Amino acid sequence: MKSIQIRIKNQVGLHARPATLFVQMAQQHEADITVSYEGKTVNAKSMLGLLSLGVSKDSIITIAANGSGEELALSSLTTLIENNFGE
C-alpha cells in the first residue's frame, strides 16, 4: 500500500465537476483507492463518498492505493489535482 498527502488548490475544492474527474480517473485503475479527510475515509471510486467529505480549497487529503498499479494510480491522481482538475 502506498499513500500520499496533497493539497487541493482549486477555488471550490472537490465540488461536483472535479470530484467527477477524480472518480473517473480512479476507476481507470485496478488498485483499491481511498481518500481520507478529517478522520473520514471513503472509496475514491464513489462519487457520493467523495462529495460527502466536503473537501474545500487548501484542504489536505490523503490518497491511498493498494494493489496492482498502485503507484500509477497515485501518480495519475496527483497529476489531476496538481493541474487543478483542468479548471
Domains of the chain: 2-86 (3.30.1340.10)
1 vs 86: which has the higher pLDDT: 1
Percent of the chain with pLDDT over 90: 93
3 vs 12: which has the higher pLDDT: 3
Which is the catalytic residue, given 12, 15, 49, 75? 15
Instruction: Decide if 15 is catalytic.
Output: yes
Grid cell listed for 26:
480512479
What is the Cα–Cα distance from 43 to 4, expressed in whole angstroms? 15
Give the pLDDT of residue 67.
Answer: 96
User: What tens digit of pLDDT does each residue of 19-58 get?
Assistant: 999 999 999 999 999 999 999 999 999 999 999 999 999 9
Give the pLDDT of residue 14.
Answer: 92
Cα 1 to Cα 28, 46, 63: the distances in Å are 18, 19, 11
Nearest to 15 by CA among 63, 62, 60, 56: 56
Residue with grid cell 494493489, as numbered in its chain: 67
Give the pLDDT of residue 87.
Answer: 76
